[in-house]
Amino acid sequence: MLASDGGVSVRATTTTPRGAALPREIWILVGASFLIAIGYGIIGPALPSYATSFDVGVTAASVVVSAFAFVRLLFAPMSGRLVTRFGERPIYLWGVSIVAVGTLLCAAATEYWQLLLFRSASGIGSTMFTVSAIGLLIRISPPHLRGRASSLWGSSFLLGGIAGPVVGSALVSVSLRAPFLVYGLALVLTTLFVWWKLRDSELVARQADDGEPALTFPQALRHPSYRAALASNLANGWVVFGVRMSLLPLFVTAVLGRDESFTGIALAVFAAVNAVALLWVGKIADTRGRKPPALVGLALLAAGTAGLGLTSDPWVFIGAVVVAGLGAGALNPAQNAAVADVLGSKARGGSVLAGFQMSADVGAVVGPLVAGAVAERFSYTAAFALTGAVAALALVLWFGARETLPSRSEPDSEPDPA
| pLDDT confidence band for 13 (50 / 70 / 90) | very low
Does 388 map to a domain? Answer: yes
Domain match, 282 and 169 both: no
Domain match, 141 and 253 both: no
Does 6 map to a domain? Answer: no
Does 35 map to a domain? Answer: yes
| CA dist., res. 403 & res. 264, Å (int) | 38
Domain closes at, from 201, 236, 270: 201
| CA dist., res. 143 & res. 118, Å (int) | 39
Distance of alpha carbon 10 from its chain centroid, rounded?
28
Query: For residue 127, how many C-alpha atoms fall within 13 Å in the half-sphere facing its CB?
Result: 30
Percentage of residues in the chain having pLDDT higher than 90: 28
Domain closes at, from 132, 166, 201: 201
Query: For residue 203, how many C-alpha atoms fall within 13 Å in the half-sphere facing its CB?
Result: 18
Asked if 103 and 180 touch (Cβ cutoff 8 Å), the reply is yes
Domain closes at, from 170, 201, 232: 201
| pLDDT confidence band for 19 (50 / 70 / 90) | very low
- The average pLDDT across 190-195 equals 92
Which of 49-58, 181-190, 243-252, 256-265 is the most confident on average?
A: 181-190
Does 341 map to a domain? Answer: yes
Domain match, 249 and 337 both: yes
Domain match, 298 and 397 both: yes
Does 126 map to a domain? Answer: yes
Domain match, 278 and 384 both: yes
Domain match, 310 and 392 both: yes
Q: What is the pLDDT of residue 265?
A: 82
Encode 33-58: b = buried (16+ Cβ within 10 Å), e = exposed.
bbbbbbbbbbbbbbbeebbbebebee
Does 153 map to a domain? Answer: yes
| pLDDT confidence band for 188 (50 / 70 / 90) | very high
Domain match, 39 and 179 both: yes
| CA dist., res. 88 & res. 24, Å (int) | 17
Across 54-63, 223-232, 255-264, 345-354, least confident range: 345-354
Domain match, 260 and 310 both: yes
The domain in which residue 311 lies consists of: 215-405
Beta bridge partners of 263: none
| CA dist., res. 418 & res. 416, Å (int) | 6
Q: DSSP alpha helices (H): ranges in 199-290?
A: 217-220, 224-236, 244-254, 260-287
Q: What is the pLDDT of residue 361?
A: 85
Q: What are phi and psi of 5, to 5 degrees?
A: -145, 100
| CA dist., res. 3 & res. 351, Å (int) | 21
Does 412 map to a domain? Answer: no
Domain match, 187 and 90 both: yes
Domain match, 164 and 34 both: yes
Considering all CA atoms of the chain, what is the largest pairwise distance in Å, rounded to the nearest integer?
A: 65
Amino acid at 257: G
Q: What is the pLDDT of residue 345?
A: 62
Condensed to tens digits (0 to 9), the pLDDT of residues 375-394 reads 888 988 999 999 999 999 99
Measured CA to CA in angstroms, residue 400 lies from 48, 206, 337, 390, 396 at distances of 43, 35, 17, 16, 7
Domain match, 189 and 219 both: no
Domain match, 327 and 239 both: yes
**Residues in Cβ contact with 102 at an 8 Å cutoff, skipping those fewer than 6 apart:** 118, 119, 121, 122, 125
Encode 322-331: b = buried (16+ Cβ within 10 Å), e = exposed.
bbbbbbbbbb
Number of domains present in the structure of the chain = 2
CATH number at residue 243: 1.20.1250.20
Does 15 map to a domain? Answer: no
Asked if 285 and 147 touch (Cβ cutoff 8 Å), the reply is yes
Q: Answer yes or no: is pLDDT of 71 > 80.
A: yes
